Amino acid sequence: MSLFRKKSISILLAQAAESEKGLKRTLGAWSLVALGIGAIIGAGLFVRTAAAAGMHAGPAVTISFIIAAIGCAFAGLCYAEFASIIPIAGSAYTYAYATMGELIAWIIGWALILEYALGAATVSISWSEYANRLLGGSIPYEWCHSPLEAIKVGSVLHHGIINVPALFILILLSLLLIKGTHESATVNAVIVVLKVAIVLVFIFVGWKFINAGNHTPYVIPADAAPAMKPDGSLYSYAPFFNHGWGGILTGAGIVFFAFIGFDAVSTAAQESKNPKKDMPIGILGSLLVCTILYILFSFVLTGVAPYTDFIKSGKEASVAYAIDHYMIGYGWLATLVTIAILLGFSSVILVMLLGQSRVFYTMSTDGLLPKVFSDLHPKFRTPYKSNLILFVFVGLFAAFLPSNIAGDLTSIGTLFAFVLVCVGVIILRKTDPTLVRPFKTPLVPLVPILGMIVCAAMIVGLPGTTQLSALGWMLIGLIIYFGYSKSRSKLGSRGKVVQKSSVLE
């Protein structure tokens, strides 16, 4: 069936060999590890940790991180195999095109918009929160929050209008990406060193401020007292997914956002110097480093401040809040942390925008999206038009949506892509068992199946409204595919040419 027509591995490898005509190969293994860490350590760690702990998992958010890491590890092994076989831009979209056909590839490509575009939007919102804190709250609430957010100050309820700082950082980084991938990677590498250093300092200094009482009970009980929300209402822990193991599972789905980034490494495969060796190192290396840091960080954060604080007072800029209120004498660290986090968020947005533009680049070269998304700058050889269009698209989400909605949608889009990548490894092992695999996922089909199960469980744990919103997004994508992309597919066009030639003969 034409809906499931596949792009052959030979065609993909031929595209990879034509790198001198397209994207520059400038990234080595350690640049890719830094790229992954740059995407991973950011809003997920500094903001989503507090959200998951305060609303669902409590101190047991460390267990949520372990569950999320296990799912990522299984998926990461599958990504590493694909990235070593098919070293071109496009990530999960490209892998699906080779194993499950065009329709599934389109669905994944559309889901990746939730991951990268909304991921960039989510982090830019968090960047805005920390920037305002660094400026002493001088930006009025109305101009740095979504219209869907409100806060009660005394008897007055303030509503957001538009998030201006989020738009500022998005346009700044979009212009940097247009300048070039090598320049962007260099900036990212410097930022990675700074933010990893600040995470280590917080863990080391914060350890001696841990209050054992904040870790007791470790798992939120069903009868936990309600917590106060920013608008003055109460937040209940009674629902199944707000306490106990249900809360831990939901927390895993939320903090899963913190791991998004290692797969963004695979979108830069066509810009890697030696992708067959470097891609597995970049993907798995960045995932391992960040998992260790995450567990230690979340343990310290929930030990320093009670998890209920993160519902209201510590919701925004939670790490700096914990330092200011519970680590007396370390005010300087709060300022340093805020600066480092702002830089860290910047690198995450950078990598997310890079990943999204490279997915669009590949989908455009396949004919599934308009040519404008694959037009390269005559001097910089970057998809500059795509970067500018993405700024407008991502900017709308950043300006008018709160971070929790955008963050949950990002997680569900990524989890769905992970499930299909795991399926793809199993399919390719059966359909092309003799294919040269520089890196092989161990224990197939066990590892891919476990990856599918863990990621699917985290999807189930996410809020029902998020699931419905993601379903609506997918329906929009199918309408675009059948209304535009299917008839313009280059793979489909090649099939028609072959059919005509056979008739003439």
- Chain segment 294-307, per-residue pLDDT in tens: 999 999 999 999 99
Q: Model pTM?
A: 0.73
Please tell me the predicted confidence (pLDDT) of residue 163.
92
> What is the Cα–Cα distance from 251 to 83, expressed in whole angstroms?
29
Share of the chain above pLDDT 70, in %: 86
- Residue 261 clears pLDDT 70, i.e. is over it: no
Q: Which of the four pLDDT bands, split at 50, 70 and 90, describes residue 504? A: very low
What average pLDDT score do residues 310-332 get? Answer: 80
Please tell me the predicted confidence (pLDDT) of residue 401.
81
Instruction: Choose between 264 and 453: higher pLDDT.
Output: 453
432-440 contacts at long range (C-beta below 8 A, 24 or more positions apart): 432/9, 435/9, 435/85, 436/85, 437/81, 437/84, 437/85, 438/84, 438/85, 438/276, 438/277, 438/280, 439/80, 439/81, 439/83, 439/84, 439/276, 439/279, 439/280, 440/81
Q: Which of the four pLDDT bands, split at 50, 70 and 90, describes residue 211? A: very high
Q: Which of the four pLDDT bands, split at 50, 70 and 90, describes residue 315? A: low
- Residue 505 clears pLDDT 60, i.e. is over it: no
What average pLDDT score do residues 126-152 get? Answer: 85
What average pLDDT score do residues 256-284 get? Answer: 72
Mean pLDDT over each residue of the chain, to the nearest integer = 81
AA identity, residue 160: G
Please tell me the predicted confidence (pLDDT) of residue 64.
93
What average pLDDT score do residues 210-225 get? Answer: 93
Model confidence pLDDT, tens digit, residues 10-57: 777 666 555 445 556 666 777 777 777 776 776 667 777 888 898 899
Model confidence pLDDT, tens digit, residues 187-209: 767 777 887 888 888 899 999 99
Domains of the chain: 23-425+452-493 (1.20.1740.10)
Please tell me the predicted confidence (pLDDT) of residue 449.
95
What average pLDDT score do residues 276-298 get? Answer: 84
Q: End-to-end CA distance of the chain, in Å?
A: 24
What average pLDDT score do residues 64-77 get? Answer: 87
> What is the Cα–Cα distance from 335 to 62, expressed in whole angstroms?
25
> What is the Cα–Cα distance from 1 to 24, expressed in whole angstroms?
36
Please tell me the predicted confidence (pLDDT) of residue 334.
83
**Pairing assessment for the beta strands 156-159 and 150-153 based on DSSP bridges:** antiparallel
Instruction: Choose between 16 and 223: higher pLDDT.
Output: 223
What average pLDDT score do residues 69-83 get? Answer: 84
Please tell me the predicted confidence (pLDDT) of residue 26.
62
Model confidence pLDDT, tens digit, residues 457-476: 888 888 888 888 888 989 99
> What is the Cα–Cα distance from 130 to 181, expressed in whole angstroms?
27
Model confidence pLDDT, tens digit, residues 394-441: 999 888 888 777 777 877 888 888 898 899 899 889 988 888 887 788
Instruction: Choose between 295 and 260: higher pLDDT.
Output: 295
> What is the Cα–Cα distance from 271 to 140, expressed in whole angstroms?
42
What average pLDDT score do residues 498-505 get? Answer: 35
- Residue 114 clears pLDDT 70, i.e. is over it: yes
Please tell me the predicted confidence (pLDDT) of residue 61.
95
Please tell me the predicted confidence (pLDDT) of residue 165.
93
Q: Report yes or no: 364 and 374 within 8 Å, Cβ to Cβ.
A: yes
What is the number of other CB atoms lying within 10 angstroms of the CB of residue 411? 32
Instruction: Choose between 185 and 109: higher pLDDT.
Output: 109
